[in-house]
Amino acid sequence: MKKLIVLCFITCCCINPYAQTPSAGGELIIYIINNSSYKEVKIDVDLISPLCWDGTSPGTNNIHDLTTEYPGSYQTTDTNGGDVDWEACWGQQPAAHSFAIGNYRVSAYVKLDQAFHLKDQFEIDYRTSDLPENFNEGEDSGDLIVDFDVSKSRFYYRGLSIRFPSATTIWDQKEWIDNITAELEPLPPTDLTQTASYGSPQLQWQHADVTPNWRTGYKIYRSLNSQTNFSLIATTTASVNSYTDVRLILNGGGTAYYKLTAVNGTRESIFSNTIDVSIVDIGKINHFRNQTNGIEYKLEQNYPNPFNPVTVIGFSIKNNSFVTLKVFDTLGREVSVLVNKDLSAGYHQVQFDGSNLESGIYFYELKANEFRDVNKFILIK
């Protein structure tokens, strides 16, 4: 993102005689007005979101990596009618006053009796990957201009007697900037472990409890007998934190290695920890499903079945397809939609949680291109 700039102008009249044209789109510009007593004013910008992301370099598009380089948390004071800039930064070394794609609190303090007193503040959320490409749309730019009126101790829209909201977003202030969280790099999954499930290795993992936590799913990678040459074997949705590799064949020995990433749009996190699974770890294997020669359309039986209340449904699709996976009761009524989107060719797993359903028989239906199949499963509570 083109880093955001705060300009603080201090003057004693409503129209700032020192006002300058902003140097670049995407600045947060604060004019300090009606300071007839020339009181010392402090503007404090603090990052309040647990995560923030850096910007793009010229010529790139939506490459926003997690960062700690632009945390905000900058204070400035001025009594001489000058200005202080939160400098724009395109790369190498961030300027002292830069901040990034995050959620920030902007506070105004006035010095009284030798101490600064908080007068007003607002929060503004810049957490969208629709930056900075749309900061200069037509005649409007991404500049957000706010007055701090010292006499009234309030933030106002520039040149208006309208209070600036206490909490807002850049996409509310600039309607042509969209709230898009895809393409912001996700945090990686952690604590990858495995247990045996019906003769197959079941992977389980954790994810940092950050709200909101930007991710759309996970990718599971596997390598046989080596910690190199990992291949993508499956994708899951964001609500799933386990995966059972029912297609693993160790041929009576050997070791499989696993690791995974979190996915947000087309962005992937760094890898989780790597774990290894051997024939001994799984133990008492009495069935591994045969690997197929090439991927075909197939809807597998859920496991476990019967289940209470969670089960996993696996399916394969031969080509990139628009896929629906739905659950119906015995009367044919739709009770849940598990998948309703484009998926890439390959093997996929979806977790179904029947906590809100009564015990009984249900059906799940897979549709992909011309392929359709239905299986039955049983919920027992």
In this structure, what CATH number is given to the domain that contains residue 361?
2.60.40.3080
In a domain, 367, yes or no: yes
Same domain, 58 and 97: yes
Same domain, 169 and 25: yes
Same domain, 164 and 30: yes
Q: Give the residue from 271, 279, 286, 311 showing the smallest Cα distance to 201.
A: 279
Among candidate residues 129, 144, 173, the one where a domain is terminated: 173
pLDDT of 336 reads 95
122 touches 164 (CB < 8 A):
yes
Both tokens assigned to 358: 């009564």
pLDDT of 136 reads 57
Same domain, 202 and 154: no
Among candidate residues 173, 207, 237, the one where a domain is terminated: 173
Same domain, 153 and 13: yes
70 touches 77 (CB < 8 A):
no
The dihedral over CA atoms of 43, 44, 48, 53, expressed in degrees to the nearest 10, equals 90
Residue with tokens 């090439």: 294
Q: Which domain holds residue 210?
A: 190-282
Same domain, 254 and 138: no
Same domain, 46 and 152: yes
221 touches 259 (CB < 8 A):
yes
In a domain, 289, yes or no: no
pLDDT of 122 reads 96
The Cα–Cα gap between 241 and 221 comes to 14
Both tokens assigned to 37: 């007593």
Both tokens assigned to 203: 């992977």
pLDDT of 272 reads 96
Domain count along the chain: 3
The dihedral over CA atoms of 286, 317, 187, 6, expressed in degrees to the nearest 10, equals -170
H or E stretch at 265: none
> Consecutive 10-residue runs of the chain (381 residues): their mean pLDDT?
40 31 56 86 86 66 75 57 33 50 90 93 90 57 81 93 96 87 90 78 86 85 89 88 79 80 92 82 36 66 86 87 94 93 86 91 93 92 84
CB environment 180-200: b (16+ within 10 A), e (fewer):
bbbbbbbbbbeebebeebebb
In a domain, 181, yes or no: no
326 touches 365 (CB < 8 A):
yes
Same domain, 162 and 23: yes
In a domain, 27, yes or no: yes
Amino acid found at 8: C
Same domain, 205 and 85: no
> Edge-to-edge strand order for the sheet containing 242-244?
190-197, 200-206, 242-244
Same domain, 37 and 165: yes
23 touches 72 (CB < 8 A):
no
In a domain, 71, yes or no: yes
CA distances to 34, 88, 121, 217, 301 from 336, rounded to whole Å, are 59, 48, 44, 19, 17
CATH number of the domain that residue 212 is part of: 2.60.40.10
Which spans in 268-371 are helix H? 279-282
Same domain, 260 and 307: no
In a domain, 214, yes or no: yes
Q: Give the residue from 233, 291, 224, 220 showing the smallest Cα distance to 253.
A: 224
Amino acid found at 372: R
pLDDT of 153 reads 96
Is the omega angle on the peptide bond into residue 132 within 30 degrees of 0, that is, cis? yes
Same domain, 230 and 109: no
The Cα–Cα gap between 72 and 339 comes to 40
Q: Give the residue from 372, 223, 357, 242 showing the smallest Cα distance to 303.
A: 242
The Cα–Cα gap between 22 and 31 comes to 12
Among candidate residues 282, 307, 326, the one where a domain is terminated: 282
In a domain, 288, yes or no: no
In a domain, 179, yes or no: no
